[in-house]
Structure 1
Amino acid sequence: MAVLELVLCIVAAVLVSSFAGRFIPRVSTPLVQIALGVALAFLPFFPDVALDPELFMVLFIAPLLYLEAHEIDKSALLGTLRLSLSLAIGLAIATMVAVGFTLNAVWPSISLAAALALGAALGPTDAVAVSSLGREAALSQRQRSVLKGESLFNDASGIVGFQFALAAAFTGEFAVGQAAGEFVVSFIGGTIFGLAIGLAANWVFETVRSLGLETTTSRILMELFLPFLLYLGAEHFHLSGILAVVAAGLFVRFDRTGVGPNVARTNIVSTSVWGVLSFSLNGAVFILLGMQLPRAMRASWSDPYISNNMLISIIVLICAVVIVMRFVWVAAMLRLARDTNTGKRRKMTAERWRSAAVMTFGGPKGTITLSLMFTIPYALSAGTPFPMRDELIFIASGVILLTLMLANFLLPLLAPNRGGDESAALVPITIEVLRTTVEELTGRITPDNRRAVLMVIDSYTKRISRLKQRIGELDPQGLERLQIEALHWEKEFVRDHLAEVKAHPASDPAQQELDVEASERMLDHIMNSLRHTHTNPASGHAVSQIRGRMRMWERQMSNFTKRTISKIRHTTPLVSEDQIFARTRELQVEAIHHVIERLVDEMGRSTYNTEHCSALLLDYRRAEASLQARPNMGGSAQAISQAEDVKRESYAIELGVIQDMLEAGDITRPQARALRRNIYVMQVDADSGI
């Protein structure tokens, strides 16, 4: 029952932290969750809990690191791999040595081996904290890649270094050669094990899908099971479970580029499940950390033989050593790094010093450090109590809190958020993808699928318009210019038709008179519309207006005269008003078809914006529908069925456009992932009508 109460309390605290973060925007979520964990620990009814480090690593750290590795931008990681590995291995070892000798020098009661163990535990940065830095900080893509890459790889070096330092403190012997050899085996072996399991997992996922056996439930369960299998399997063979999880996370794929409503629905559910699980585990990690801090610090703080001021001073000193070592190391790596274009080393400018400071404070310590410290045994091999165990845990806890607070409050000053909105930055890219898709669809129009393709193009036009409204980039003047040009296309079509009728008289005089009358009336209507679209009172335009009105009055007077003479002679006109009206509607439909064809051609060119052509296409198709007789139900059903097929084809086009942009370097992998996620959402709705 106590375990159930503990789980419910942690879940409730995670939920509260999700709301509290909205009201405390300048405090990062991890700090809020640590505070909630501390508050829970002091509640009288809260069950006393002891952290099992091994269980903690399996249940929390393994799936979080796996997800972080799977979601990281691989291309950006490769670009910063050298710096990330330098921090993960070189800096971790340097920090271990510096902290160990410093602590042993200022407090000789702590043995060198135990001090080195503390230094090794303070080597790893917290991947969760790196991903949850203060909302007010704006880190560059390179800085984020370096910090995330470091947090993925430095756990292994910290854990292995801690284990060997602890073994030396436990037995009194320290074999450097043996430690180095086992470190290499653990590091390389864990990586190879993770890659092997990742390769096997890819084959399993692809085989299950190709056989039609994959369901949403089976897919999600396989994904969730994988990180636990990786960690436990690697640890069983005495390899680095952390590196195995990271290597597999970087290598495993789930065929997220598949097309179809079922695949899209599975991808959406997978993303949602991992999103909820990630936030829940992240919150639980920091809440557990907060719950452990009072217990970890109470024994040393209440010890009458140890000065509390000295404890605080040592925490500040060790924190300073960690930060200074990190700053010097990062600055040195930036100074030694060569420019990718010139191949020369660059001087340290003010901006590069600021970047070094950002990456220094962007690497706070966290849960892995504390979980390692709790693995310190209570007694040595001889049975005597482990010396200064509580004090070591107290110092580690203080450094964790101090580095987290420095990251939260200094990073916004070093890298202030200028109000940039990543979703807004993605809008122009999305518009470009949609525009390219429309152009590709335009090239696939045939007489058989014309109506269906235009229906899908209309839906894309609406999406583009909504996105442009979000960023305020609508161009009503550009659309108006295209509308006027379309009126001129109508005028040219009707004028050419009228000239053709007059040049080749029909055998039926009534039919010829009907065509002439309908064409002239439609010309009058178009010219009247064009006159109303112009607002420039230039003299040349005024003369054109006068001439047009005179031609219209001339035709009207000619028609009136013909009908008057017919009435006087008591003869029936060759054509009636009803016939003229019907023929005018037919001619309007023909003119609309002509304009639609011109708009389709224009979408493959650069004269007008694609979205303007699509928007006007929508207007002309609506006008066509209102002029034509009601279509039969069979034709409509066939068009809708064709539109569904075209819609699914358009999703494949979108995915292809995104892949091309990614390979060309126009977008990053996180942006490509977000764009694909939008398409998956659309695919889920693929069975609904447009």
Structure 2
Amino acid sequence: METITTVLLLLVAVVISAAAARMLPRVLPLPLIQIAIGFAVSGITGSGIRLEPDIFFLLFLPPLLFLDGWRIPKEGLFRDIGTVLELAFGLVVFTTLGIGFLVHWLIPAIPLPVAFALAAILSPTDPVAVTAIAARVNVPRRLMHVLEGESLLNDASGLVCMRFAVAAAMTGAFSLADAAASFVWLVLGGLAIGIVVTWILTWSKNRVARDYGEDTGSQILVSLLIPFVAYLAAEKVGGSGILAAVAAGMTMSYSEQSGRALATTRIRRNAVWDMVQFALNGMMFVVLGEQLPRIVASAAQVVSETGHVSPLWMIVYVLLINVALVALRFLWVWVALRFSIRAALKRGDPPPAPGWRLVAATSVAGARGAITLAGILTIPFLLPDGDPFPARDLVIFLAACAIIVSLVLASVALPPLLKGLAVPAEPHERQQEDAVRAAAATAAIEAAQAMMRTLPRDGADNDLYTHASARLIDYYKERIAGYSAKEQSDMDRFRAAARAEREVWLAALQAEREAIYREARRNAVPDDVARRLVHEVDLLETRAQES
């Protein structure tokens, strides 16, 4: 009962944080607000939440990593795959070594393997937090694609590196050859199992839906279970459950392109996953705030054991570690860009000419978030011999402060760095969208004409079908004419007409919905009928807003 009460309290705190973020006069990152609310919760309840690392890891990470893999723009990811891999793997190792040695040098009470574990879990970045921070300034889409791709892959690489470091701290031994072999199996096994599990489950549910009909609830439940099945299956055979969840998400995105799911299933499933992502991300940051008082107290005790009597030394540690994180990231991005320019010159391509602001924005955008928090909280409480894990609370404190400081730094520094920032051009997405819309409209016209040809010659309702098809064909032809406009003036005119049509449509739909609710309040229509009618209007409004 106590566990259920705790979960409900955390969910309430997440809801309050979302409302508070909208009420504040200044835009603040939502994770910072959630940490503050969690801190307040700890003062009200007076009792800390006892976290089981393995359970915490299992419940939070697989669905979040799965959803990242599912929703990341694949075209943007593969276009800049070289840059993404440099950041996601090379920078992770660079950060792990640099920050690991720095932490051990600053705080000798933290053993070197534990320092490497802290550094490894500080390497993953959180683009969700960066997007929330940059709400006041448009983040260039190509930069966001790189940051999203980096986050998707460095989540896995950072957590895998942390796993090796924790294992070394637990056993007191480390073999590079064994670690390399284990790493290969972790990567290949995790990726393979994630792909196979997702393919089998999606094929099975599609086969059942095709032969016996589709049930929306069960389809959504299967999508929720896939990341956990992939994660547990990979961990069972010694693979990386983290990479399995990522691979499962990416496989899911390709599987869904078959278009076999019902429209209702897709709409409701997206809503469910949006809620899951919001709740899990929010709960992790609320838990961090709730744990902070105890973490700070325990960390101060560990600091006193290092010979520094004043707990203010913790602030020095936090600032130095965060300065080092930004500096290492800046150095890596700068050097990587030099190599990219040299490679472009060798190929005869026009080299990119990024300025220092792009490098600085990419460095500051490396805000830590949910993955760092989830990973650091999974550090074991005890060593195999029953002794406490060395400096566990201090390491968690440093990671928690790194999250907070990176979020604050990004909130302050990103807007001026991103303002007017020029990045290498990417394909015009609007033109690509128009081309696809035109192709879809052409297919719709052909379908309507084919249906007309199948009507019986003496059908009683042929005139109704003929009239409906003519109206539909005229509608799609008008759309194709707009999408294929050659002159910029014609295209601007078409887009202006589309905006005007959308505004009128939204006003009409709002009036339609209010009329339905008014009739329902007068008991002029049953509740279930009113809900169905409102749902239809809501779908049309969603379509109008996204068009």
Q: TM-score range by the shorter chain?
A: 0.7 to 0.9
In 1: Cα distance, 2:244 partner to 2:379 partner: 24
Q: 2:208 maps to what in 1? A: 208
Q: Name the amino acid aligned to 1:38.
A: F
Whether the 8 Å CA contact 1:126–1:366 is kept in 2: the answer is: yes
Q: Relative to structure 1, is the Cα distance of residues 141 and 354 closer, same or farther in structure 2, using a 3 angstrom cutoff? A: same
Moved more, 2-11 or 369-378: 369-378
> Does 1 or 2 have the higher relative contact order (CA < 8 Å, sep 6+)?
2
Q: 1:194 maps to what in 2? A: 194
In 1: Cα distance, 2:141 partner to 2:466 partner: 44
Report matched runs for 1:146-545 at 5 Å.
146-253=146-253, 255=256, 258=259, 263-301=262-300, 306-337=309-340, 343-344=347-348, 349=353, 351-381=354-384, 383-416=386-419, 433=437, 437=441, 441=445, 444=449, 450-457=466-473
Q: 2:143 maps to what in 1? A: 143
Q: Deviations over 1:239-286 (max 9, x none)?
A: 111100111111124545648xx8212221111211222222222222
Matched residue SS, 2:347: coil
Q: Relative to structure 1, is the Cα distance of residues 440 and 201 closer, same or farther in structure 2, using a 3 angstrom cutoff? A: closer
Q: 2:508 maps to what in 1? A: none
CA drift of 1:95 comes to 0.9
Q: 2:41 maps to what in 1? A: 40
**Pair member with larger Rg:** 1
Q: Relative to structure 1, is the Cα distance of residues 679 and 154 closer, same or farther in structure 2, using a 3 angstrom cutoff? A: farther
CA drift of 1:56 comes to 2.0
In 2: Cα distance, 1:391 partner to 1:121 partner: 14
Q: Deviations over 1:480-517 (max 9, x none)?
A: xxxxxxxxxxxxxxxxxxxxxxxxxxxxxxxxxxxxxx
In 2: Cα distance, 1:475 partner to 1:193 partner: 48
CA drift of 1:105 comes to 2.2
In 1: Cα distance, 2:541 partner to 2:259 partner: 10
Q: Name the amino acid aligned to 1:182.
A: S
In 2: Cα distance, 1:232 partner to 1:391 partner: 30
Q: Relative to structure 1, is the Cα distance of residues 140 and 342 closer, same or farther in structure 2, using a 3 angstrom cutoff? A: farther
Matched residue SS, 2:372: helix
Moved more, 210-219 or 448-457: 448-457
CA drift of 1:222 comes to 0.9
Q: 2:519 maps to what in 1? A: none
Q: Relative to structure 1, is the Cα distance of residues 383 and 428 closer, same or farther in structure 2, using a 3 angstrom cutoff? A: closer
In 1: Cα distance, 2:43 partner to 2:299 partner: 18
The CA RMSD over aligned residues, in Å, is 3.9
Q: 1:8 maps to what in 2? A: 8
Q: 1:18 maps to what in 2? A: 18
Whether the 8 Å CA contact 2:288–2:400 is kept in 1: the answer is: no
CA drift of 1:216 comes to 0.7
Q: Relative to structure 1, is the Cα distance of residues 441 and 370 closer, same or farther in structure 2, using a 3 angstrom cutoff? A: closer
In 2: Cα distance, 1:463 partner to 1:297 partner: 61
In 1: Cα distance, 2:198 partner to 2:340 partner: 32
Whether the 8 Å CA contact 2:344–2:351 is kept in 1: the answer is: no
Moved more, 163-172 or 336-345: 336-345
In 2: Cα distance, 1:327 partner to 1:206 partner: 47
Q: Relative to structure 1, is the Cα distance of residues 460 and 33 closer, same or farther in structure 2, using a 3 angstrom cutoff? A: farther
In 2: Cα distance, 1:67 partner to 1:212 partner: 28
Q: 1:31 maps to what in 2? A: 32
Q: Name the amino acid aligned to 2:262.
A: V
Q: Does 1:107 align with 2:110?
A: no
Q: Where do 4+ consecutive residues of structure 1 move more than 6 Å?
A: 339-342, 345-348, 425-428, 445-448, 458-464, 473-476
Q: 2:532 maps to what in 1? A: none
In 1: Cα distance, 2:276 partner to 2:232 partner: 20
Matched residue SS, 1:252: helix
Q: Deviations over 1:551-595 (max 9, x none)?
A: xxxxxxxxxxxxxxxxxxxxxxxxxxxxxxxxxxxxxxxxxxxxx
Q: Name the amino acid aligned to 1:93.
A: V
Q: Name the amino acid aligned to 2:300.
A: W
In 1: Cα distance, 2:179 partner to 2:384 partner: 19
Whether the 8 Å CA contact 1:64–1:278 is kept in 2: the answer is: yes
Whether the 8 Å CA contact 1:296–1:397 is kept in 2: the answer is: no
In 2: Cα distance, 1:17 partner to 1:185 partner: 41
In 1: Cα distance, 2:420 partner to 2:208 partner: 45
Moved more, 112-121 or 223-232: 112-121
Whether the 8 Å CA contact 2:57–2:378 is kept in 1: the answer is: no
Structure-1-length-normalised TM-score: 0.61
Whether the 8 Å CA contact 1:335–1:346 is kept in 2: the answer is: no
Q: Relative to structure 1, is the Cα distance of residues 435 and 346 closer, same or farther in structure 2, using a 3 angstrom cutoff? A: closer
Percent identity among equivalent residues?
A: 34
Q: Relative to structure 1, is the Cα distance of residues 278 and 387 closer, same or farther in structure 2, using a 3 angstrom cutoff? A: closer
Whether the 8 Å CA contact 2:85–2:150 is kept in 1: the answer is: yes
Matched residue SS, 2:136: coil
Q: Relative to structure 1, is the Cα distance of residues 79 and 311 closer, same or farther in structure 2, using a 3 angstrom cutoff? A: same
CA drift of 1:195 comes to 1.4
Q: 1:633 maps to what in 2? A: none
Q: Name the amino acid aligned to 1:97.
A: L
In 1: Cα distance, 2:222 partner to 2:385 partner: 46
CA drift of 1:110 comes to 2.6
Gaps of 5+ in 2: 422-428, 454-461, 484-488, 502-535
CA drift of 1:140 comes to 2.0
Q: Deviations over 1:397-424 (max 9, x none)?
A: 2212111211222112211389xxxxxx
CA drift of 1:63 comes to 0.6
Q: Relative to structure 1, is the Cα distance of residues 683 and 8 closer, same or farther in structure 2, using a 3 angstrom cutoff? A: closer
Q: Name the amino acid aligned to 2:347.
A: G
Gaps of 5+ in 1: 419-424, 468-472, 479-607, 616-677, 686-690
Whether the 8 Å CA contact 1:6–1:47 is kept in 2: the answer is: no
Q: Relative to structure 1, is the Cα distance of residues 13 and 427 closer, same or farther in structure 2, using a 3 angstrom cutoff? A: farther
Q: Deviations over 1:108-153 (max 9, x none)?
A: 3332222222212212223543554431242222222222222222
Whether the 8 Å CA contact 1:30–1:132 is kept in 2: the answer is: no
Q: 2:73 maps to what in 1? A: 73
CA drift of 1:365 comes to 1.7
Q: Deviations over 1:599-637 (max 9, x none)?
A: xxxxxxxxx99x89xx9xxxxxxxxxxxxxxxxxxxxxx
Q: How many residues align?
A: 474
Moved more, 15-24 or 263-272: 15-24
Q: Relative to structure 1, is the Cα distance of residues 440 and 17 closer, same or farther in structure 2, using a 3 angstrom cutoff? A: same
Matched residue SS, 1:145: helix
Matched residue SS, 1:42: helix
